[in-house]
Amino acid sequence: MGMNSGQLRILGLIHPTKPLSIWQQKEIHDTLPHFFQQGLLMSQPFKTIGVVGKFAAPTVSSALCQLGRYLRTKTVTVKLDAETAAVWPNHGFDVADHHEMATSCDLIIVVGGDGTFLGVARALGEVNDVSLVGLNLGRLGFLTDISPDRTEEKLDQILKGAFLEEDRFMLHCTVSRKGEVISRSCAFNDVVVHKRDVARMIELDTFIDDTFISTIHADGLITATPTGSTAYALSGGGPLMEPELNVVVLVPICPHTLSNRPIVVCADSVTKIEVKGKENDEAQMSCDGQVGQALVPGDIITISKHPSVIRLIHPADHNHFHILRAKMGWS
């Protein structure tokens, strides 16, 4: 499969996203060094750069310090996330809260694993459309795709204008109890409704655009974006989905009836999940496995497409299927 997500910026032109053949990809790969040598790439596309990372982790601390030294050699304004700045003494950069970072930074560099990336995408994406690039210090790295040993090489390319853009969407989620909204949150990977008692199933009524779909008896139900199709939904038997698809997938977790299968629906539809069962039955709703809300029978979870766009910035040689093969161990 060719590069088919985002936009490739080369020679100052924006080429609409179309699948590129293997030969076109090879031509891009072979000619990029020439562009850099001849100074033919577009003028600097990112002038204000935000940096977010879990500084407390030893590997992240080292990577952040290295990144800081690198950015000081560039003609860019750097803004550091306030939480990161609090544990990074003498960093020498401006400090910004989430609102300022989301509204003033052209690019935000996330240092860490996919979990860190998810948290940043949710926190900043609730404020504004944001552009993110990830330096991978985790294990899988489906979202953070620049390895530490190639950070300067890949960032040099990106800062000079050679990169892929890929627009992805989040989910907006509300929980209503007796007609009143008691919780609002968002998710980049998935919204999961699951049991709280270890040995009990839960009963859920599911609706798409107010049309009843089915009653599910299972350990839970995952509603995942294409981004989240490589996460919990995959382990639940859901399909791998191309990132640019405008769909969500509903994946039952260990359903009691084997005919309860994953179902893919348009992301512009509204999914409603009603918790059934006895009065003392309890369930839990979580977003990306990081934000939780206790549920009781009668609660209604409403899931829709979030208006903000998360724009992933990749190196120009990025290929989603290459990453899948590497991470999934395909031959």
The catalytic residue positions are: 114
Residue 30 exposed, middle or buried by CB count within 10 Å (0-12, 13-18, 19+): exposed
Spatial CB neighbours of 62, under 8 Å, sequence gap ≥ 6: none
Q: Could you identify the residue written with the tokens 């009836």? A: 257
Check residue 56 and report its DSSP letter: T
CA angle 296, 297, 300 (to 5 degrees): 85
Query: Which residue type occupies 139?
Result: R
Q: Which residues contact 42 (CB under 8 A, 6 or more apart)?
A: 9, 10, 11, 12, 13, 160, 161
Q: What's the token pair of residue 143?
A: 């979202």
Angle in degrees, CA 102, 167, 230, rounded to 5: 105
